[in-house]
A and B are shown apart, each in its own frame.
Chain A
């Protein structure tokens, strides 16, 4: 079945440094979604990418979807303590079903 891997599993950064998490699917995706889960909270939707090579920005966050629609990345510029949490990608391949990546846990050191 479809597998979605994320790296790294953990990342510690100093406040102000940049951060990137990468997502790779074993199969071609119809779209990819990104979610953020704050400590003690539930995943909250951030963005969805649909087109090959698509790039979207949300303030300091930049999301990319690969040309082959099998990989994606999330880049945060100048991290802040409010960015702390676990970031998940979720790839849609089959009907109404998405497969979540393993997540990247971000810790920001003030």
Chain B
């Protein structure tokens, strides 16, 4: 069974901090994704990657960056956290043209 693991379920940070969210998948999937989920807005794509060292902007990339140095790991970086980045962050992975498998999510609060 596919396992997508996010490093933290809950995280509290302060405004201006640099924040790292980590995601690891164990199924050798090519594609990895970062979403944020907010009430009434569904899942919005921040960034995705279809190969090691490759990244593509999603619909809301502003204020975020990503890193994919190894196939199994996809990191989301908040360069300087702001209160409007308080949200649930979901990581997902998939094979080519296949459905996505999600991690349990990280609920991030920026104070």
Q: A39-56 interface mask toward B, CB cutoff 8 Å, 1 = contact, 0 = none?
A: 001111100100000000
Chain B contacts for A31, CB-based, 8 A: 97
Q: Does A96 sit at the interface, judged by CB under 8 A?
A: yes
Please state if B90 and A43 are interface contacts (CB–CB under 8 Å): yes
* Contact with B43, one of A1, A45, A88, A92 (Cβ below 8 angstroms): A88
Tell yes or no: A81 within 8 A of B by CB: no
Instruction: State the total of A-B contacts with C-beta under 8 angstroms.
Output: 51
Instruction: Point out which of A6, A42, A95, A102 has the most chain B C-beta atoms below 10 A from its C-beta.
Output: A42
Q: Any chain B CB within 8 A of the CB of A80?
A: no
B96 and A100 form a contact (CB under 8 A): no
CB contact list, B46-63 vs A, under 8 A: 48, 50, 56, 58-59
**Complex Cα–Cα for A81 and B39 (A):** 22
Q: Number of A residues contacting the other chain (C-beta, 8 Å)?
A: 23
* 0/1 interface trace, chain B 6-35, chain A, CB 8 Å (1 if under): 000000000000000000000000010001
Partner of B97, one of A43, A45, A96, A102: A96
How many Å from the CB of B29 to the closest CB on chain A? Answer: 11
Q: Is the interface of A mostly helix, strand, loop or mixed?
A: strand
- In angstroms, Cα B4 to Cα A42, docked, is 11
Is B87 an interface residue, CB under 8 A from the partner?
no
* Inter-chain contacts of A43 with B (CB < 8 A): 43, 90, 92, 100, 102
Q: Which residues of B contact A102 (CB under 8 A)?
A: 40-42
Which chain B residues have a beta carbon within 8 Å of chain A's beta carbons? Answer: 31, 35, 40-45, 48, 50, 56, 58-59, 90, 92, 94, 96-97, 99-105
A: which residues have CB within 8 A of B?
1, 6, 9, 31, 33, 41-45, 48, 88, 90, 92, 95-103
